[in-house]
Amino acid sequence: MNGTILNYRMGVNTQKNNHLLVKLDDEKYNSKTSVADLLGKKVVFTTIGKKTITGKVASAHGNKGVVRVIFEKGLPGDAIGQKVEIK
């Protein structure tokens, strides 16, 4: 299953570079309750140089099927709008 990176997790004065919001491409994951079975799943982002950065689904974000993913290290800014794979 694939998803699209929307943005970093942000506060008014802070930005967490390893917490990102991901919108799932599958239409059946469109509510907070439907993404509950994805918690703890592995997420893989592949950079242009073919390096992989892994993370895991931490929680739902909002009520429309967006999830919060915590990566092992921060992602570059050009990762916003790119695809990730959820295993």
| Mean pLDDT of the chain, nearest integer | 93
Structure tokens at 12: 């008014």
How many domains in the chain? 1
CATH of the domain at 23: 2.40.10.190
Model pLDDT, residue 65:
87
Q: Sign of torsion, CA 1 33 17 78?
A: positive
pTM equals: 0.90
- Calculate mean pLDDT across residues 45-50: 91
Location of structure tokens 């929680």 = 59
What percent of the chain lies above the pLDDT cut of 70? Answer: 100
pLDDT at 20 over 90: yes
Residues spanned by the domain of 62: 2-86
Structure tokens at 23: 């919108």
